[in-house]
């Protein structure tokens, strides 16, 4: 079979695109989360509103070509329904266990066909929320200064820094427009996934940009 082609395009990678569970990026992203964070994250994936982007492998969705008996010998056989799978992870929350147990269940069981880029974005941001002190943040305020009307004003005050309060109107920020303009500046051969997230309790909007996945590591 010929290797997949990488066509130059400025279009973003879709959030539903899945990454092979054996990909080192996937294993690293999940393994650095605690057991409790992993289980909480999985329950978010299993929310009905996220099923279009985070669908697990369920027996009720198996096609006629797939043999249901092949899963009987699995250590982590797929559940029959979404409700059953949610109950399984809720039970895991109620008892003690290792983080490795949860990671193996995810990668070798319920999402053995791949994790979507949206799921990886959620996992990445979960680590940020769990460890807010791991990154250093710098904030700058841009202010427009008044332009001196006469040269004498400049000579009189070399550090002319009077704020022009009449021009302090800040234009409204549109995330979609900002992202379109950002994509227009990205080279066509760069494959990237963009995800906006709003932290709870903070007046912030975070943009996560995931760049660098090779096409052969992605699965449909």
Token pair in block for residue 93: 């929350």
pLDDT digits (tens, 9 = 90+) for 165-179: 665 565 677 888 888
Closest by CA position to 44, among listed 218, 197, 213: 197
> What's the confidence (pLDDT) of residue 94?
92
pLDDT of 203 > 70? The answer is yes
pLDDT digits (tens, 9 = 90+) for 120-158: 999 999 998 898 877 777 777 766 666 666 666 555 555
pLDDT digits (tens, 9 = 90+) for 112-130: 999 999 999 999 999 988 9
Strand runs labelled E in 41-128: 115-116
| Helix, strand, coil percentages, rounded to 5, for the chain | 45, 10, 50
Q: How far apart are CA 199 and CA 135, in angstroms?
A: 15
pLDDT digits (tens, 9 = 90+) for 71-110: 666 778 888 899 999 999 999 999 998 999 999 999 999 9
């Amino acid at each position: 079979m010929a290797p997949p082609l990488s066509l130059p395009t400025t279009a973003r990678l879709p959030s539903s695109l899945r990454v092979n569970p054996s990909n080192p990026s996937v294993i690293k992203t999940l393994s650095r989360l605690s057991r409790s964070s992993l289980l909480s994250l999985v329950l978010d994936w299993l929310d009905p509103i996220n099923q279009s982007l985070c669908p697990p492998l369920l027996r009720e969705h198996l096609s006629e070509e797939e043999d249901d008996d092949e899963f009987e010998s699995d250590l982590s056989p797929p559940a029959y329904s979404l409700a059953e799978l949610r109950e399984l992870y809720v039970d895991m929350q109620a008892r003690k266990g290792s983080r490795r147990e949860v990671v193996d269940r995810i990668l070798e069981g319920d999402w053995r066909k791949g994790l979507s880029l949206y799921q990886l974005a959620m996992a990445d941001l979960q680590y940020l929320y769990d460890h807010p002190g791991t990154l250093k943040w710098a904030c700058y305020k841009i202010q427009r200064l008044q332009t001196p009307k006469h040269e004498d004003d400049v000579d009189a005050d070399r550090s002319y820094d009077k704020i022009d309060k009449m021009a302090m109107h800040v234009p409204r920020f549109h995330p979609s427009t900002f992202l379109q303009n950002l994509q227009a500046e990205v080279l066509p051969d760069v494959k990237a996934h963009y995800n906006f997230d709003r932290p709870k309790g903070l007046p912030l909007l975070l943009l996560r940009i995931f760049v660098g996945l090779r096409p052969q590591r992605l699965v449909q």
